[in-house]
Structure 1
């Protein structure tokens, strides 16, 4: 029996009766976050389940989905999540969490991204301005379709690094990623400011201290009515000092084909090029210490926007001026862990920068800025985020955690409008938010079947905000001391059933935003609370998993980005909202090799009162569909010496509204997408095929593209046409 890394302190239950070694180890390690891997006829090595597997070509013997909560592997391995900042067995977490296994997606689509994840996670919705410009929403907690000064309602997390505060989702390519965890509902106690809707947590593969491994992959992609492009990625894991020091490197290039024709200018105009990489260094000088240092960068260049102004059936737009965008992302992080007796001490610090620049045709708004003729709007945004935390938790289980944190977020933006003859500064913003907090969460066993978990965060935020517009400058400082609690009651009648009731609250601090009439205006803090009643079940043979959740959310003083008459984006408090919702999901393995799964989400998300207190009858919160669903099927089999897999997914996006503003209350959605996939694997070689939107469905995925012309007519963002992706992977 062997162990990699820090030696754990873990109690296990006594065993009685006759059983195989595999069965005995499974029972001993159940609920511990550990798993035993057989390394020889009579030898096993115990690992943490979250310890990443070495880079390899995807093997079709691995299970294909953890999209429904909980879904074990084909061998019955328990799902371990780290989104609550410590190792936890998903089966015992009294919270709604969806987990997507990225090893599955690697079979078919090397360019996995946030949009691909959203199709597999019930309740996760996105805007669709383009790569690097989208906003995420979870369970209807959606404030606006526009990218403005307000803080995001979903915090994007990479391992121990928080990536976003008020920036859009960087849309990192999910290469060499173990899994994505989506924590649903307010996460104020552990994540602080923001996180009203939840957490999007990316868990990467970590350096393997013992094995040299890696892979290289080449891909080709063809879009109907569009281009043919190519890309690739590579991963290498190198132990520098065996069992002590290792390096892991990831690199990728992805060229996305364009399919929108800019009439009179460029065919297939909205092509995109993405390149990036990640380096990770792990040092374990002894069994008690672990040090991780990592860095990541990604650049996304999009040649033109992807909306049209005729109908969602069209892929042509008459554009006078190209509308390119550029998103550059960088992050550095260091984490030190030390086991001291029965507890682990973790200290982590990270620094993130994100630069987003884009250009828009602003000709329709030229007279509003004292200009005449065609004009171009240029917006440059610079985001930085520094986050430091010190946390203590038990080394043997995840029943409690406590810690201190410091966060500093800086945002700078500068926008100008120019014609061939003249230019003006449209607006300039400089915002700094700091937060100091103490937080904790504790599980208290009430009996063998009942437990109570409570969490809280005591924090103080300070915002320094300066807004300079065309003729005015305003500066303001805002301080706020707050308390974000959570509490959940869990009932475990058996180790395969969990019923829980959870309440949690989170808030966003107020700030200063551009307003009408060339003045800056203040928007107040908003606060959101959710009651979540959930149930999870797994049968004894682990071939059937069920999950259900019903939730009620109240949202006061909603911060919402909105369009000014001149096309700029500002922020205001829109009023009071309420969200009622239900989620159902299931996975079933009726016979060996066949797996069926699906989920459905119903959301009634409404703005019920204006900020002035006026009651509203029907004003739906933006972007999120009222009804959405998915169905998935996959079958694994052998063909001679080859292992094969075929799979399909049908996803439905129901009708949604662009905005609760009366002038922009436009419909979108209401379409279904079919994706089919196949893979063949033998030895170190894997061949993959993916056909996205196989039926070439036309639909409006987002009813917005340009803020300067949307008031004069409807805009549509067509669903990407049928797209075929081929990949070949060689591992060692």
Structure 2
């Protein structure tokens, strides 16, 4: 298996023309007020898996208004990540991106350190072999209520993938009271590049006082700006994305709410966002130019996510069930001629990744504003990720396949079951202490079959291997919290106590692992 996916990217700066946004139709009920705020204008978040004011959350959280992002034409994570303290991105140039929070990141083949969820449903693979740290959702904010970014370890509530933090997408609930809709378009131009555009629409239909349906869709082109001097094509790194979402809300009683959602998105990148150098002279080919093989850096990514959220008010507690099923696929081709020049003058590496993931979480929490607040829950996930890498020798002019050098097929499986909980004791109105813990047990399986001249164990004999592992760990959480006033941000004493106790306890806890191969 080849343990490298992309060529090294070279940073560059662009001058982008101002964006003009045209609202074609805007019904008043669509966004009469900021979706993130309650009637008092205070921002409401669910970072701790309970509804609370942003000021009261004992976690560093940044809440972004989705409607404000749309108005500023900031439709991708790459457009607005700079607004979040401590958040940075490492774009690989082929549709893959590593999310970094507080400087915590993974290597090319490290497991994710920043978790991503949609309506509390985890997104993507939990393992590095299926690109869990590289493949991120491309959610258009048209159907989002807000985006919450949690900084620092969130392992007790969100699992091992959230060592650095969590990006939480919260969609807009259908409304059972008013019919509303919106259509919006925008265009943009990049200096010495192409033309981009965006079209998005949404409609909310209240069927009756108990049922409501909401549907959204979007189509977007991000303009390219890199020219391929080898093929003569301009703006090869243009990106097209389109998708939509349908959600249904059913409130059979005052205490029961059921929300079902189906999300689908498709992205197509036409070429690599890379600037290359001349192989012999080691000189740049000019500003924003490349000399890669035809189609190099192109990729296709599809995401489908089904979610089911059930909320039941038991009076003495709130019961919540979160069910998710996701299907993700990614295919790309990259020019690897320089790395394998000793075998063939021109070569292309193809990556084909797929993930099928089922998750189920059930949690029970006490009502808010109690002297003693508590939350307990359980989580289960099952993942299957067949992955194929193909290295082909190709024609240097057309990139047509000449012969196969390596085909590596390595399906992986991942299963995890966890129980978690926390207790918050309000010593006074201003001071409280939160303690929590999570126990997790996971099992992973890995198989690999390599064929081709560079992969065979012997001429004509495939290389075959397999491995499996089991692991369990306990993570603890301790957070003292002091509120200077109702309207002031929360102070955590000390500031990094959550980080210290989570990481320290995770390393000091019971830990056992068994492997066989």
Any conservation in 2 of the 1:56–1:213 contact (CA below 8 Å)? Answer: yes
| Structure with greater strand percent | 1
Partner of 1:477: 468
Match of 1:256 among 199, 219, 222: 222
Partner of 1:175: 142
Q: In structure 1, how many angstroms separate the alpha carbons of the residues matched to 2:347 and 2:429?
A: 69
Q: In structure 2, how many angstroms separate the alpha carbons of the residues matched to 1:456 and 1:405?
A: 13
1:333, distance to aligned residue in structure 2 (A): 1.0
Say if 2:414 is the partner of 1:448: no
Partner of 1:668: none
Query: 1:282 and 1:62, CA in 2 relative to 1: closer, same or farther beyond 3 A?
Result: closer
Count of residues in Structure 1 that have an aligned counterpart in Structure 2? 447
Match of 1:138 among 101, 106, 124: 101
Say if 2:291 is the partner of 1:314: no
Cα deviation code 1:269-291 (max 9, x no counterpart): 11111000001000001101111
Any conservation in 2 of the 1:188–1:504 contact (CA below 8 Å)? Answer: no
Tell me the secondary structure at the aligned position of residue 116 of structure 1.
helix
Q: In structure 2, how many angstroms separate the alpha carbons of the residues matched to 1:362 and 1:433?
A: 30
Match of 1:334 among 308, 330, 337: 308
Any conservation in 2 of the 1:357–1:380 contact (CA below 8 Å)? Answer: yes
1:501, distance to aligned residue in structure 2 (A): 2.9
Q: In structure 2, how many angstroms separate the alpha carbons of the residues matched to 1:230 and 1:255?
A: 5
Partner of 2:257: 290
> Structure 1 stretches of 5 or more lacking a match?
1-53, 67-71, 506-528, 533-550, 557-732
Any conservation in 1 of the 2:149–2:165 contact (CA below 8 Å)? Answer: yes
Cα deviation code 1:610-639 (max 9, x no counterpart): xxxxxxxxxxxxxxxxxxxxxxxxxxxxxx
Tell me the secondary structure at the aligned position of residue 91 of structure 1.
helix
Match of 1:188 among 128, 131, 155: 155
Structure 1 segment 278-427 matched on structure 2, within 5 A: 278-310=245-277, 314-323=287-296, 324-366=298-340, 371-397=343-369, 399-419=373-393, 420-427=401-408
Cα deviation code 1:3-48 (max 9, x no counterpart): xxxxxxxxxxxxxxxxxxxxxxxxxxxxxxxxxxxxxxxxxxxxxx
TM-score normalised according to structure 2 size: 0.80
1:163, distance to aligned residue in structure 2 (A): 0.8
Q: In structure 2, how many angstroms separate the alpha carbons of the residues matched to 1:365 and 1:95?
A: 45
Partner of 1:229: 196
Cα deviation code 1:441-495 (max 9, x no counterpart): 1111123332100111111111112233423322111111110111100122432
Say if 2:486 is the partner of 1:495: yes
Q: In structure 2, how many angstroms separate the alpha carbons of the residues matched to 1:57 and 1:453?
A: 38
Q: In structure 2, how many angstroms separate the alpha carbons of the residues matched to 1:348 and 1:436?
A: 15
Structure 1 segment 531-610 matched on structure 2, within 5 A: 531=500
Q: In structure 2, how many angstroms separate the alpha carbons of the residues matched to 1:379 and 1:367?
A: 20
Any conservation in 1 of the 2:147–2:168 contact (CA below 8 Å)? Answer: yes
Match of 1:161 among 118, 121, 124: 121
Any conservation in 1 of the 2:185–2:200 contact (CA below 8 Å)? Answer: yes
Q: In structure 1, how many angstroms separate the alpha carbons of the residues matched to 2:339 and 2:163?
A: 34
1:423, distance to aligned residue in structure 2 (A): 0.4
Q: In structure 1, how many angstroms separate the alpha carbons of the residues matched to 2:50 and 2:177?
A: 24
CA RMSD between the two structures: 2.8
Structure 1 segment 53-202 matched on structure 2, within 5 A: 77-109=41-73, 112-130=75-93, 132-144=95-107, 146=108, 148=109, 150-164=110-124, 165-166=126-127, 167=132, 168-202=135-169
Cα deviation code 1:514-553 (max 9, x no counterpart): xxxxxxxxxxxxxxx8239xxxxxxxxxxxxxxxxxx999
Q: In structure 2, how many angstroms separate the alpha carbons of the residues matched to 1:401 and 1:359?
A: 46
Query: 1:212 and 1:397, CA in 2 relative to 1: closer, same or farther beyond 3 A?
Result: farther
Partner of 2:514: none
1:132, distance to aligned residue in structure 2 (A): 4.1
Match of 1:466 among 434, 441, 447: 447
Any conservation in 2 of the 1:256–1:271 contact (CA below 8 Å)? Answer: yes
1:94, distance to aligned residue in structure 2 (A): 1.5
1:312, distance to aligned residue in structure 2 (A): 11
Higher relative contact order (CA 8 A, sep 6+): 1
Any conservation in 1 of the 2:224–2:238 contact (CA below 8 Å)? Answer: yes
TM-score normalised according to structure 1 size: 0.58
Q: In structure 1, how many angstroms separate the alpha carbons of the residues matched to 2:500 and 2:495?
A: 5
Q: In structure 1, how many angstroms separate the alpha carbons of the residues matched to 2:31 and 2:227?
A: 37
Q: In structure 2, how many angstroms separate the alpha carbons of the residues matched to 1:105 and 1:160?
A: 21
